[in-house]
Structure 1
């Protein structure tokens, strides 16, 4: 891929790692960075060799400290609406990648940074991480999905408190409310993220992708329709080489070799 201005993109052992790289500005999301994130998301989605994705931030202070306030400050109502539309479009693309996405939150994940983490499948935080949706402090509200994804993850009451107060919370509190899966020491953050990503990468790519799709698409359906969706996807997997390899390997007591087909 072409070199990015605001992102560092690497691939290790079928795991794509995206590092937000504006440490001088605490990795704040501006339009250029969102465009680069959109481009790298398209690339990952088209690369079947990538089994999992990790997002993290450059420097020790921030994952992504929020959207770029300097860029937003002078926007009018129409421009603000377009910025929200663009951010939501990019984060939805990330959320709907076939591969699982892990946020490795090394510092501040506020506003747009918290919304970015919410669009990931799994969230790991260092002990120094701080999370929150402080938009009301700036006279606005979340614009990249925070008002919708946060209550779906932590429940209405806790989400409303965070949204209405704009308060930051610690990594431990975020884990208590279900916003974070794991909290680790800063030195262990990427190791833990790579451990989980590697565990995922060792499994059937199609089984993992179908599981993600079933959860995402079935979450807002009624139970009858979501179960029907699961049944259809379960059946489709029996037409794949992954299913044949996985079950044969189990019966032969050996490790499966998945091709994602």
Structure 2
């Protein structure tokens, strides 16, 4: 039974990292209105607090997310939230780096939630896919827009047209999954990855993410100018000077985010 006293989305702060947990294990963390709102607010918290540098998004109960809660949808609940879209993430994710930590499975809208993240860590054997066509539906929560930019054409077509899930190891081979963890170890592996990011200059991390995301819309003629517009202030920052000084002095840098 569902524990109504527990929020649908939990957050925990750990050394500059915000761990966001979808907390509806009784329905395999399916996305209802409360989940969409909870994820959206968690991303607002991540982006709005200078003490937080990286987010980790995961699910409770040994699985990531089964997608949209069809029962809630039939009752009139919307799994979309504001301009962030489906699950509070699909159309507008976090400005700061966000890592999906997948146990068990991430299918349908659940996979699209993971694709809304910048990095993916998955437990060995975890299943991922977009089975919508098996129910005469379309994976319109971002998968068909994101995957062609991240995987070969024919691999995307097989996923989209058969609806069959693949193991995490296959997605790792194709570059969609960054790291494979032991079952039960996805969050720990994501925390290790997050720790490597937290050590770096926050201004440089933010600019690097923005350039990688936006460059698909740039032409070859304006790409360099667009890159300078995003990265120029980083080179002129106090943190850039601190990074150079710390390297020369063989010490850890102390970032001021300025």
How much has 1:143 moved relative to structure 2? 2.3
Aligned pairs, number: 254
TM-score, structure 2 as length reference: 0.91
Please tell me the root mean square deviation across aligned C-alpha atoms, in Å.
2.3
Structure 2 matches for 1:1-261, cutoff 5 A?
5-60=7-62, 62-73=63-74, 87-88=85-86, 90-92=88-90, 95=93, 97-261=94-258
Equivalent-residue separation in structure 2 for 1:37 and 1:18 (angstroms):
7
SS at match of 2:101: strand
How much has 1:20 moved relative to structure 2? 0.6
In structure 2, the gaps of 5 or more residues are none
Distance 1:84 1:14, change over 3 A: closer
Give CA-to-partner distance per residue, 1:48-107, whole Å, 9 cap, x none.
1101010111012x20111112233577xxx99978986348325653x22100000011
TM-score, structure 1 as length reference: 0.90
Equivalent-residue separation in structure 2 for 1:81 and 1:58 (angstroms):
18
Equivalent-residue separation in structure 2 for 1:55 and 1:64 (angstroms):
11
Check the 8 A contact 2:103/2:186 in 1, yes or no.
Answer: yes
SS at match of 1:90: coil
SS at match of 2:196: helix
In structure 1, the gaps of 5 or more residues are none
How much has 1:222 moved relative to structure 2? 2.1
Query: By percentage of residues, which structure has more helix?
Result: 1
